């Protein structure tokens, strides 16, 4: 089959099925009250719709709750490196140094609270020519269940913190822990942000992931248009960064491995003729009419 000309987003079939099943369940319930439909039909429709919820929360390609960017156009030899959970005053500079060694640019999805604590690190990311986007204000487990108005206000607050350093408002949101929900989509729309996913991830936010494991996962996902996910800070939702003196022993045990992964991964990209770029450059490489859909 021909390669898509533009960026690839999550399927619209998941969202269509979610909406159709919801409407069908309401109609069947009304008919049941009128005595024209059996109760088991209502239960079956609600059960099928309910089965789509975990799929929509944890599997972005299904697109159950809305459109998510998954990868760029595969027609040019470009790959977007993205980093979550920073900035961190120890780990992020190591990642920046590794990127500089290999002449690579990347996109950093940063947490607003951490950016407020370490504005000097955020400024280093920007000064090095990397793209900075929104990864929520607090990176909490409950983000997907927060009231949309409150979450939208937090997203706008995080965007304002980032724009104060970069001079440009973020355009993309990556949901904390990658968990999606109708509330996340509603809040993102209110805050003027599109949802960005990934096509390959290192799982380097887990303490059990070695440099070798993370590199192997990314190499399996390596192809033109890929959006690769790494972490430039510990993926700990309730603890301070390991460099923070307030951090407890659990936080200090996790050492981000992304810088070491880059030293193994980026030479392979060069060997395969793939160029690591910012997310905006990956999307600009597409035809103008094809990249318009889904852009915030």
Distance, CA of 148 to chain centre: 18
What's the pTM value of the predicted model, to 2 decimals?
0.88
- pLDDT value of residue 242: 44
- pLDDT value of residue 207: 80
- pLDDT value of residue 245: 46
CB atoms within 10 A of CB 207: 13
- pLDDT value of residue 247: 45
- pLDDT value of residue 7: 92
- pLDDT value of residue 99: 98
Residues ≥6 apart with Cβ < 8 Å to 30: none
Q: Would you name the residues annotated as active-site residues?
A: 84, 231
- pLDDT value of residue 3: 58
From the list 160, 226, 188, 153, the residue with the least C-alpha distance to 67 is 188
Positions in the chain whose pLDDT score sits under 50: 237-253, 287-296
- pLDDT value of residue 180: 96
- pLDDT value of residue 2: 60
């Amino acid at each position: 089959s021909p390669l898509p000309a533009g960026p690839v987003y999550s399927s619209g079939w998941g969202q269509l099925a979610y909406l159709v099943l919801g409407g069908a369940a309401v109609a069947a319930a009304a008919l049941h009250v009128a005595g024209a439909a059996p109760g088991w039909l209502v239960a079956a429709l609600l059960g099928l719709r309910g089965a789509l919820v975990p799929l929509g929360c944890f599997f972005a390609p299904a697109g159950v709750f809305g459109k998510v960017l998954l990868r760029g156009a595969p027609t040019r030899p470009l790959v977007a490196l993205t980093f979550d959970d920073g900035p961190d005053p120890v780990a992020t500079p190591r990642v920046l140094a590794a990127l500089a060694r290999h002449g690579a640019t990347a996109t950093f999805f940063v947490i607003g609270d951490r950016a407020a604590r370490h504005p000097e690190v955020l400024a280093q990311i920007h000064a090095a020519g990397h793209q900075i986007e929104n990864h929520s204000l607090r990176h909490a487990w409950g983000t997907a269940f927060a009231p949309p108005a409150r979450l939208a206000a937090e997203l706008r607050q995080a965007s304002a913190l980032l724009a104060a350093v970069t001079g440009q408002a973020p355009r993309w949101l990556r949901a904390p822990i990658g968990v999606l929900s109708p509330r996340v989509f509603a809040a993102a729309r209110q805050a003027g942000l599109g949802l960005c996913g990934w096509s390959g991830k290192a799982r380097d936010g887990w303490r059990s992931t070695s440099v070798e494991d993370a590199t192997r996962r990314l190499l399996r996902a390596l192809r033109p248009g890929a959006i690769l996910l790494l972490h430039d800070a510990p993926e700990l939702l309730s603890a301070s960064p390991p460099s923070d003196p307030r951090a407890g022993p659990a936080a200090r045990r996790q050492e981000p491995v992304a810088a070491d992964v880059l030293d193994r991964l980026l030479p392979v990209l060069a060997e395969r003729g793939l160029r690591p770029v910012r997310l905006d450059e990956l999307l600009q490489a597409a035809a103008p009419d094809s990249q318009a859909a889904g852009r915030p």
